[in-house]
Amino acid sequence: MNRKLIKYTLRPLWVVFVLGVIGIPSVFLMVKNDAFGWFGSLPSLEALERPDPDLSSELMSADGVSLGKYFRKNRTPVTYEQLSPELVNTLLVTEDVRFKDHSGIDLKGLARAIIGKLTFSFQGGGSTLTMQLAENLFKTNTAEHGSLYRSRTLGQIITKLKEWIIAVQLEKSYTKEEILAMYLNTVEFGSNSYGIKVAAKTFFNKLPSQLNYSESAVLVGAINAPTRWSPVLNPENAHRKRTEVLWNLHKYGLIDKVRYDTLNRDSIQLNYRVENQNEGLATYFRTVAKNYLVRWARQNGYDLFDDGLKIYTTIDSRLQQYAEEAVAEHMDTLQHIFNEHWQGENPWIDNENKEIPEFLDDAIKRTEAYKNLRSRFGDQKDSVDYYLNKKKRMTVFSWGGEIDTVFSSYDSLNYYKRFLQAGFMSMDPRTGYIKAWVGGINHQYFKFDHVQQSRRQPGSTFKPIVYTAAIDNGYSPCFPVVDAPVSFSLPGQDPPTWVPQNSNGRFTGEVMTIRQAMAQSVNSITAFMMNRIGPSTVVDYAKRLGIESRLDAVPSLCLGAGGDVSIYEMVGAYSTFVNKGTYIKPYFISRIEDKNGNVIQQFVPDEQEAINEETAYLMLHMLKGVVEMGTGRALDYELKVDNEIGAKTGTTQNASDGWFIGVTKDLVSGAWVGGDDRSIRFRQWVLGQGGRTALPIWEGYMQRVYADETLGYEKGYFEKPTKPLRTVIDCERYEENTNPTDTVDYDVVDEDDFM
């Protein structure tokens, strides 16, 4: 009887022993190797040793300031040393108090969780921080599943087994400090913040190393349910959760009762701001850079939005700030003048200053709202018109701040079409580094970039290119020409001839040098030089100076009416004069590093010899004349003291576009101002000229630059050529050796001679 009892008693014990020694390891082995396809795959050993969460790529300024990030999930990693002790303590007492004592699996916590499940008295989960990290990194709940997952209960058990296996491997591969930092880097905190660094910045505008117990309790409390415990969306819930986390700190002896009571009484002090592409510095530049970087990443096998790249730009955050301030300050004032000028009338007019009928009807057909409605309703015009005129609440831009209003799509279009736009770029002429880029007046409401994306007629800012071609072909800045009509023959056109008019509509008959003529922007004399050298020659020189936009080799090109160009191109062209004739294509990325700090690519300038050194210096001499005696005389006197400045204003025929490009020994910068549509402009040419609309932006920018001594930009003089000049620039000496009447030729030139 005793033997039978012993036999029957030992049999189940042997079964338990065999299952424990053989069965459980076998199950783990089967799960690990996905036996028979029942369990689904696990990450490889290499993936476990080098987990790769999606990481934001960061755009850095040349002076070390973060300009913004590109991400699908906004995440920037930190190391354990960058975490405050308060944050570490708060996390451990909340999520895994025995974290430092286990090897990935907490048997005590596991037993508590199982008993809680069986007795319906939940006392906390059995997942350790390492197991949670395994789920965060390798998505064990959503990864590839085997056939046994058809049973929900079996699927949950298998998922836990996978997390145990991964957790043990992680514990073998990393230190406790590394695991804890990795965990905080992978969790979501809400408000599009992934990882503790972004969360600390988003909710408190702090670094993780600066977080105190109260702030840490808010963030750690939100980990398991970021929306439910959000201090922004659900502040009462967040306060209750913080109380619970603070009590754990007291419970485990990290704060005393007095400290707990004090912290618990305090309200949650947020400094909340969600990162987005419409806020911060260089918003237009960041969008332009993104388009370039997406192509670069695709060509080089990277993902801009996941790979944690660090992109170092040539932008200087201080110069960028000054550029944005200068644009905003002037455009606010100019918009007020523009509104007063029109006094509520519609500013879209034709060449005869008459309002363009059905302007808004045509313009709305180019909007996304119209295209979406046409896609939805097809040819049902009544339905399309109904929704285009349907009022809805919206927030609109104004220079006095955002305005909440009720507008239809038509109302919105009518409102926004009345705004003047601007583009501004500044670069170092010797390196090609773009230092500041302002693509418009407000990126949130006006996405179109007016530095590189926009191309407009340059007006008289193109004249220096005409004179560059002339001087490089032997003409002196002292070459004399009479201010008189010049006629171009245009065979087959109506009318068959073209006579460029001066801006004031008069010809003086005076003899002036081409330097004086460029300074005063006399159209007839630029036309005369175009007659001499030919449109094709001018186009050739424009290409040498980096103008990549299409230019037509026609006589009107001498007045900037032969093609549309960008501020980006024009500033690059003018920089050639300061750089002794070498053109450097403006660029904005200096190097790119991977997430580990390894340099992936170092960018070098694309440069070419465009003109000789003497021609470049003579063009600086020509441009200085604009400031000394021409259309740039209005520049602030203090800017000109002990400082050589070259410049050129530009205004298109009907004042749709105002330009100003200024040149100093260290910076070349350009501004454009106008409406998004060329028909939106001042009635009078004089009000829309570049000296009024664009020059003040450059002036305001340079005033700020020179006032900031930390930047290192000082007033001074242009560097002279290494060799003595062969060309006479002392015009009195030039006249002694030249008979002006022998140099002036007013024959009509056929356009075909220069095509």
Contact 467, 537 (CB under 8 A): no
24-28, 34-38, 212-216, 623-627: least confident range: 34-38
Using the predicted structure, report yes or no on whether residue 221 has a pLDDT greater than 80.
yes
5-9, 241-245, 298-302, 336-340: least confident range: 5-9
67-71, 417-421, 731-735: least confident range: 731-735
Question: Which pLDDT band, with edges at 50, 70 and 90, does 216 fall under?
Answer: very high
Contact 427, 572 (CB under 8 A): yes
- SS3 per residue for 315-380: CCHHHHHHHHHHHHHHHHHHHHHHHHHHCCCCCEECCCCCECCCHHHHHHCCCHHHHHHHHHHCCC
Cα 310 versus chain centre, distance: 14
Convert the pLDDT of each residue in 267-277 to its tens digit: 999 999 887 77
Using the predicted structure, report yes or no on whether residue 637 has a pLDDT greater than 80.
yes
Peptide bond preceding 12: is omega within 30 degrees of 0, i.e. cis? no
pLDDT of 730 reads: 84
pLDDT of 100 reads: 87
Candidates 591, 468, 578; CA nearest to 530 is: 468
pLDDT of 138 reads: 62
Alpha-carbon Rg for the chain, nearest whole angstrom, is: 35
Backbone angles phi, psi at 436, to 5 degrees: -150, 145
pLDDT of 35 reads: 43
Using the predicted structure, report yes or no on whether residue 121 has a pLDDT greater than 90.
no
How does DSSP assign 50-82, residue by residue? S----B-EEEE-TTS-EEEEE-SS-B----GGG
Task: Give the helix/strand (H/E) hosting 193.
Answer: strand 193-194
Query: How many residues appear in the chain?
Result: 755
26-30, 435-439, 459-463: least confident range: 26-30
Contacts of 378 (CB under 8 A, 6+ apart): none
CB-CB neighbours of 440 under 10 Å: 24
User: In whole angstroms, what is the distance from residue 624 CA to residue 595 CA?
Assistant: 47
The full set of domains in the chain, from first to last, is 73-265 (1.10.3810.10)
pLDDT of 49 reads: 56
User: In whole angstroms, what is the distance from residue 437 CA to residue 456 CA?
Assistant: 17
The pLDDT of 606-621, averaged and rounded, is 97
Contact 181, 129 (CB under 8 A): no
Convert the pLDDT of each residue in 475-534 to its tens digit: 999 999 999 999 998 888 888 899 999 988 899 999 999 999 999 999 999 999 999 999
* Burial readout 388-407 (b: 16 or more C-beta within 10 A, e: otherwise): beeeeeeeebeeeeeeeeeb
Using the predicted structure, report yes or no on whether residue 54 has a pLDDT greater than 90.
no
Using the predicted structure, report yes or no on whether residue 233 has a pLDDT greater than 80.
yes
Using the predicted structure, report yes or no on whether residue 47 has a pLDDT greater than 80.
no
Residue 645 corresponds to which amino acid? Answer: I
Structure-model confidence comparison of residues 274 and 593, the more confident one = 593
Distances (CA, A) of 512 to 102, 304, 516, 621: 90, 57, 6, 16
Q: 3-state class of 719 per DSSP? A: coil
User: In whole angstroms, what is the distance from residue 646 CA to residue 519 CA?
Assistant: 10
Backbone angles phi, psi at 396, to 5 degrees: -120, 160
Convert the pLDDT of each residue in 168-204 to its tens digit: 778 888 899 999 998 999 899 998 899 999 999 999 9
Distances (CA, A) of 102 to 98, 105, 627: 7, 6, 76
148-152, 168-172, 497-501, 633-637: least confident range: 148-152
Structure-model confidence comparison of residues 30 and 738, the more confident one = 738
pLDDT of 493 reads: 85
Q: 């695709």: which residue's tokens?
A: 298
The pLDDT of 557-567, averaged and rounded, is 95
Using the predicted structure, report yes or no on whether residue 36 has a pLDDT greater than 60.
no
Residue 704 corresponds to which amino acid? Answer: R
Mean pLDDT of the chain: 87
Residue 395 bridge partners (DSSP): 404
32-46, 194-208, 379-393: least confident range: 32-46
Using the predicted structure, report yes or no on whether residue 441 has a pLDDT greater than 90.
yes
pLDDT of 159 reads: 61
pLDDT of 735 reads: 65
By percentage, how much of the chain surpasses pLDDT 70? 84
**Distance linking the first and last C-alpha atoms of the chain:** 121
Question: Which pLDDT band, with edges at 50, 70 and 90, does 145 fall under?
Answer: low
The pLDDT of 438-453, averaged and rounded, is 96
Using the predicted structure, report yes or no on whether residue 139 has a pLDDT greater than 80.
no
Convert the pLDDT of each residue in 62-81 to its tens digit: 999 999 999 888 888 899 99
The pLDDT of 44-73, averaged and rounded, is 80
The pLDDT of 440-461, averaged and rounded, is 96
Which of the listed ranges 145-159, 430-444, 726-740 does the model predict with the highest average pLDDT?
Answer: 430-444
Q: 3-state class of 547 per DSSP? A: coil
Structure-model confidence comparison of residues 149 and 209, the more confident one = 209
User: In whole angstroms, what is the distance from residue 431 CA to residue 583 CA?
Assistant: 10
Using the predicted structure, report yes or no on whether residue 548 has a pLDDT greater than 90.
yes
The pLDDT of 215-240, averaged and rounded, is 94
163-167, 250-254, 402-406, 746-750: least confident range: 746-750
The pLDDT of 535-544, averaged and rounded, is 98
104-113, 360-369, 495-504: least confident range: 104-113
* Burial readout 568-584 (b: 16 or more C-beta within 10 A, e: otherwise): bbbbbbbbbbbbbbbbb
Candidates 547, 541, 588, 589; CA nearest to 571 is: 547
Task: Give the helix/strand (H/E) hosting 662.
Answer: strand 657-663
Structure-model confidence comparison of residues 357 and 279, the more confident one = 357
The pLDDT of 51-57, averaged and rounded, is 76
122-126, 229-233, 712-716: least confident range: 122-126
User: In whole angstroms, what is the distance from residue 694 CA to residue 325 CA?
Assistant: 14
